[in-house]
Structure formats: structure tokens, C-alpha cells
Structure 1
Amino acid sequence: MPERKVIVESPVGLHARPAATFVQTAAKAPIDVTVAKPGGAPVSAKSILSILALDVKNGEAIVIHAEGDGADQLLDELAAIVTHP
């Protein structure tokens, strides 16, 4: 399963607008996508409540997993959202 480990660079972490953009991008894809803090339980990247519950702050790492056709491209898009504030 393809994955990306990225450091969240948004000043607000993975909250508010970055979280909404992240979820909207994930939701457009017809494949399974999860996100987790390293060593933590993965949650659906398509659920705004699940993403906000992770409480990811600026400078923290997340691991994004996707499985299916187009997974690598989707992972690149999601990684760009959190690494380019």
C-alpha cells in the first residue's frame, strides 16, 4: 500500500481550512485513503471530524496511506496540501 510520511507545515496544523481542503481532495478519489500520526491508529482521510480529532499541529508528522488506481498521484496531492501552507 503506497504511503507518504510528511511534516505538517501549515501554521494552524491540520485544522480549519487545510483540513477542509485535505478532506475535499481525498473525498474526490474513488479509493480508500487513511491518515495517522506515526504509530497511531489510522482514520479516514475523507472525514473532517476524524481529521480534526487527530489534533495534528504544525511541525508534527502524519502518515497518509492510499490503495487503488491513482494512489501515488493522490498521495502527492494530499502531501502538498499539508507541506505548502
Structure 2
Amino acid sequence: MPSRRVTITTHNGAHARPVAELVRLAQSHPAPVLLRTTSGAEVDLSSVLAVMDLALASGDEVVLETPRDADGVLDQMAAVLDPAS
């Protein structure tokens, strides 16, 4: 399964604006996209509330994965969480 390991570098972590962008990308993708934290929590990225409940902060590391990486959605999502890369 394609995946990307990302360290969050956005100034305020995964706050409303980047989470909304992640959900928009996930909802436009034909397959489910999952986000997993280092603690093992896993959420479907089609849910704003599920992602916000993780309270992801700058410096946290996550893994994004999907059965099919159509149109490079994982790279687009990684760029949302780590715009400096």
C-alpha cells in the first residue's frame, strides 16, 4: 500500500485550514486515505472531526496511506502538512 511518512511543520500544527485541505483532497480521491500517528491512532481523512480530534501539533510525525496513490494525492497531502519540504 503506498504511504508517506510526514513530520508536520505547519506553524500551528494540523489546525482547521490544513485539515480542511486534507479532507478536500481525501474526498476527491477514489480510495480511502488513512492517517496514522506514532501512537497508533488511525483515522479516515474524509472526516474533519476525526482528524481534529487527534490534536496534531507541529513536530508530530504521521503516516498517510491509501491503496492507490492516484494523481499523487499522498504527495499533495504531505505538502499540506510539511510545506517547507
> Shared fold (TM-score greater than 0.5)?
yes
CA contact (8 A) 1:35 1:65 kept: yes
Report the equivalent of 2:77. Answer: 78
Report the equivalent of 1:42. Answer: 42
Report the equivalent of 2:52. Answer: 52
Structure 2's unaligned 5+ residue stretches are none
Task: Output the TM-score relative to the length of structure 1.
Answer: 0.90
For residues 11-62 of structure 1, the C-alpha deviation after alignment (integer angstroms, 9 at most, x for no partner) is 1111110111111111111111000112413110110001001110011101
Structure 1's unaligned 5+ residue stretches are none
Percent of counterpart pairs with the same letter?
A: 32
Secondary structure of 2:51's match? helix
CA contact (8 A) 2:12 2:57 kept: yes
1:66, distance to aligned residue in structure 2 (A): 0.7
CA contact (8 A) 2:10 2:82 kept: yes
Distance 1:49 1:67 in 2: 23
Distance 2:45 2:34 in 1: 5
Task: Output the TM-score relative to the length of structure 2.
Answer: 0.90
How many residue pairs end up in the alignment? 84
CA contact (8 A) 1:36 1:54 kept: no
